[in-house]
């Protein structure tokens, strides 16, 4: 099957591309390399350096004729979405609309859309939050990512588009950018390995639902054939405190320093975990990697990265 992956040079999507190619699919990547990296590109995939907002995107859909589009390209930084909400909406809403309408024109059978759990639900009324939890985003990023879900639902009714939306928890693992604003595990790991003090925003009791990228990849593989016009949380259902992430990584990496505690950042949810019962029942998906094992794998990845790039 031919599958077009947007954002395929990025953290999550590049891991998905590798898995798709490993099981025999023909993959086309679209990425503007704003936050993705050339070294993440699988050499067996066909690559187009283009923004999803570009009008020429439709030419790629017409030329390649993918059966499925896996849509991960996005502006993912909550802080940046607050500072420049217009740019956030242009990338996440208008870019997605450009992609969706091109898919409709050129016969794409299914879109798999990477959405967000915590940023959509906002500060939850109950934990773990299921897919029926009220949508109350407290960041522009949460608004823009959720808005695309409405367009997918709309076009499934008006044009027969088939979609699966995966609302991710906090994803971590190999290839996450340790020099960005998002991705606390990667950021902490590389800071510890280079002798810097990691910063915890808040007193350390803020919680997230951490899911290893390998489990996210598996959900995307399942979504190639299962689930129809449906939304699924993809997470562990377990809250993990920032302090626990710091302590676990420090133990694994042998870091003896203490964190810096800074004020909370605007637009960040304080506590969240996702109820993934629906994905278990309808997709047969559940997380397989424990936090302890996932953190150990991730720490080893960044240990190797630090050895290769000691000055970074």
54, 34 in Cβ contact below 8 A?
no
Rounded to 5 degrees, what angle do the CA atoms 131, 134, 136 make? Answer: 120
C-alpha to C-alpha distance for 254 and 294, rounded to whole angstroms: 17
**Secondary structure string (H, E, C) spanning 231-299:** EEEECCCCCEEHHHHHHHHHHHHCCCCCCEEECCCCCCCCCCCECCHHHHHHHCCCCCCCHHHHHHHHH
Q: For the chain, what's the residue count?
A: 312
Residues whose CB is less than 8 angstroms from the CB of residue 19 and which lie 6 or more positions away in sequence, other chains included? 217, 218, 220, 221
| Helix extents (H) in 47-200 | 57-64, 78-83, 85-89, 95-105, 118-121, 140-158, 184-193
For residue 2, the tally of other CB atoms under 10 A from its CB is 13
Q: Where are the alpha helices (DSSP H) in 23-139?
A: 57-64, 78-83, 85-89, 95-105, 118-121
CB 182 within 8 A of CB 131: no
d(CA 177, CA 187): 8
Q: Is 141 a catalytic residue?
A: yes
Beta strands 230-234 and 162-168 are parallel
Which residue of the set 48, 113, 121, 141 is catalytic? 141
Provide the 3-class DSSP secondary structure of residue 13.
helix
Residues marked active site are found at: 141
């Amino acid at each position: 099957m031919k599958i077009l992956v947007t954002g395929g040079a990025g953290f999550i999507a590049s891991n998905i591309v590798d898995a798709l190619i490993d099981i025999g699919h023909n993959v086309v990547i679209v990425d503007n390399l704003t936050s993705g990296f050339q070294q993440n590109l699988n050499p067996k995939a066909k690559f187009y350096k283009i923004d999803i907002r570009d009008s020429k995107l439709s030419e790629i859909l017409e030329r390649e004729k993918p059966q499925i589009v896996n849509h991960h390209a996005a502006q993912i930084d909550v802080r940046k979405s607050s500072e420049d909400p217009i740019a956030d909406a242009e990338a996440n809403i208008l870019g997605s609309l450009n992609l969706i309408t091109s898919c409709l024109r050129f016969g794409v059978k299914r879109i798999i859309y990477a959405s967000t759990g915590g940023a959509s639900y906002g500060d939850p009324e109950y934990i773990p939050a299921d897919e029926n939890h009220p949508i109350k985003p407290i960041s522009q990023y949460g608004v823009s990512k959720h808005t695309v879900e409405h367009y997918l639902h709309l076009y499934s009714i008006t044009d027969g588009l088939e979609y699966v939306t995966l609302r991710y928890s906090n994803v971590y693992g190999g290839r996450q950018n340790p020099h960005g604003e998002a991705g606390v595990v990667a950021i902490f790991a590389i800071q510890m390995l280079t002798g810097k003090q990691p910063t915890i925003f808040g007193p350390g009791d803020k919680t997230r639902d951490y899911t290893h990228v390998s489990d996210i990849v598996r959900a995307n593989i399942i979504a190639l054939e299962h689930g129809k016009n449906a939304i699924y949380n993809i997470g562990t259902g377990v809250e993990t405190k920032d302090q626990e992430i710091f302590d676990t990584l420090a133990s694994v990496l042998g870091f003896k320093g203490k964190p810096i505690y800074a004020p909370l950042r605007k637009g960040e949810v304080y506590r969240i975990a996702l109820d993934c019962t629906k994905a278990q029942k309808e997709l047969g998906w559940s997380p397989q990697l424990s936090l302890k094992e996932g953190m150990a794998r991730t720490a080893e990845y960044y240990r190797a990265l630090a050895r290769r790039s000691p000055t970074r």
